[in-house]
Amino acid sequence: MNWFLLAIGAPFLGALVSIADQYLVKKHKKSEHSVGALALFSSLVGIIVALGIFIFAGNIFSIPNTDKLLLLLVGVITIVWIIFYLRAIEIEDISHVVVWFFTIPVFSFILGYLILGEVLTRNQIIGGVVIVLGGLVHSIDFTVIHTELRFKKKVALLMLFTCFIVGLSSILFKLVTTEYTFWISTFWQYLGLGVAGIVIFVFHKRYRASFLGMIRNDGRTILGVNIASEFITIGANFMNSFATLLVPITLVYIVNYSFQPVIVLLLTYYCTLYAPHIVNEKFNFKSLAPKLLAIGIMFIGTLIVFS
C-alpha cells in the first residue's frame, strides 16, 4: 500500500473532524466542563472500536505483556491531549489552533532520536526551528491596534503540550508495532482510551454530569455529530498509524500537518460564507495575513527538513 496516499488522506479527514470539534465546542462553550464531556465521547468510542477489533481480529493477546501495557498507556495519554486540544479550540478559532500541529514532526524528531535512535540531520534541525518560528508568528494577535501585540501564550502552551503527547504516542505505538501486529496494537491502544474514559466518567463527577446533561439537552445533535466525528477520526488515525509503519514517522507527519492547516482554512472560509452556524471566522486582511504567513513559513521549514 502506498504510504503517501494514506498520509495525504488523513489530513482531509482530520480537517473535517477539526471543523466538527469547533462546532461542538463553540455550541457548548457556556456549559461548565463541556470540554471534559466532549472528551468523554471520544474516549468511550474507543470501547466500540476495541470491541470491533476483538470480534474480527485474532491473536490480540499474542504480544508481550510489556507491549500491552505500553499500548494501554498510549490510549490513556490520548485522552489527555484530546482535553488540551479541545480547551485550545474553546478559546481560539480552529484555523489558528491547527497550525500548531506543524510542531508534531519536531517532537517526533526529538523523541525518535531518544527512543528509536533516529539521527537528526542539520537540515532537519534547522527546518524544525523554522516550523516553530512559524507557529510563534501565528500566535501573535496582529489585530490589536497600533504597536501593541498580544502573544497568545495560553493557546501556545496548550497546543505545544498536545503536539508533544501526539508525537510521543506515535513513537511508542511504532516502538512495539509491526505491519503484522497493527490491528493487535490498535486494539490495546483503543482499549486504553476507552478504559481511561470509563475511569473519568466514574470518578469525575462534574465531567459525568456535563456529559449526561449534554445527552439530555441536545442528545440527537451531540450523538450524531460526535459519533460521525469519532469514526472519521478513527479512519484518519488508522491511515496515519499504518503509514508510519511503512516509512519514518516524521515523514508521514510532515505530509499530514503541512496540508491540514490549509484544508482547515479553506473549509472555515467555505463555512463562513455558506454555513456560518457551523463555523464563522473573520477573514479580513489583518486576521488572514498572519495565518497565510505562518503557513508559508512552516511549509518552508518542511522543505528544509527534507532538502
Q: Return the DSSP state at 144.
A: S
Q: Which residues contact 298 (CB under 8 A, 6 or more apart)?
A: 99, 102, 130, 131, 134, 135, 258, 261
Q: In DSSP terms, which residues pair with 140 in a beta bridge? A: 151
pLDDT of residue 43: 85
Taking only the tens place, the pLDDT of each residue in 215-249 is: 777 666 666 777 787 778 778 878 888 887 777 77
Asked whether the CA dihedral 80, 59, 244, 268 is positive or negative, the reply is negative
Taking only the tens place, the pLDDT of each residue in 257-298 is: 767 777 777 888 888 888 887 777 767 777 777 778 877 887
In this model, does residue 179 exceed pLDDT 70? no
Calpha distance 287→152 (Å, rounded): 14
Calpha distance 74→206 (Å, rounded): 25
The ranges assigned to domains in the chain are 3-305
For residue 132, what is its C-alpha cell? 516553530
Q: Give the max Cα distance, the chain.
A: 64
Average pLDDT, the chain: 80
Q: Return the DSSP state at 177.
A: -
For residue 10, what is its C-alpha cell? 488523513
Contact in structure between 34 and 25 (CB atoms under 8 Å): yes
Percentage of the residues of the chain whose pLDDT score is greater than 90: 17
Question: What are the strands, taking DSSP E only, across 125-283?
Answer: 140-141, 150-151
Q: How confident is the model at residue 93 (pLDDT cuts 50, 70, 90)?
A: confident
Q: In DSSP terms, which residues pair with 150 in a beta bridge? A: 141
Calpha distance 1→3 (Å, rounded): 6
Q: How confident is the model at residue 68 (pLDDT cuts 50, 70, 90)?
A: very high
pTM of the entire predicted model: 0.76
pLDDT of residue 145: 47
Of the listed ranges 114-128, 135-149, 244-258, the one predicted with least confidence:
135-149
In this model, does residue 118 exceed pLDDT 80? no
Q: Count CB neighbours of 69 within 10 A.
A: 13
Beta strands 150-151 and 140-141: pairing type?
antiparallel
Q: What is the rounded average pLDDT of the residues 64-91? A: 91
In this model, does residue 9 exceed pLDDT 90? no
pLDDT of residue 141: 61
pLDDT of residue 73: 95
Question: What are the strands, taking DSSP E only, across the chain?
Answer: 140-141, 150-151
Phi-psi region of 58 (alpha: psi -120 to 50; beta: other; left: phi over 0): beta
Specify the amino acid at residue 16: L
Q: Count CB neighbours of 266 within 10 A.
A: 12
Q: What is the rounded average pLDDT of the residues 107-136? A: 78
Q: What is the rounded average pLDDT of the residues 17-25? A: 77
Q: Please classify residue 150 by burial: count the beta carbons closer than 10 Å to its beta carbon, then call 0-12 exposed, 13-18 middle and 19+ buried.
A: exposed
Taking only the tens place, the pLDDT of each residue in 34-51 is: 788 888 888 888 888 899
Calpha distance 163→19 (Å, rounded): 18
Residue whose C-alpha is closest to residue 143's, from 306, 286, 292, 297: 286
pLDDT of residue 263: 79
Q: How confident is the model at residue 195 (pLDDT cuts 50, 70, 90)?
A: very high
Calpha distance 41→86 (Å, rounded): 12
Contact in structure between 21 and 260 (CB atoms under 8 Å): no
Q: Which residues contact 239 (CB under 8 A, 6 or more apart)?
A: 6, 7, 9, 10, 13
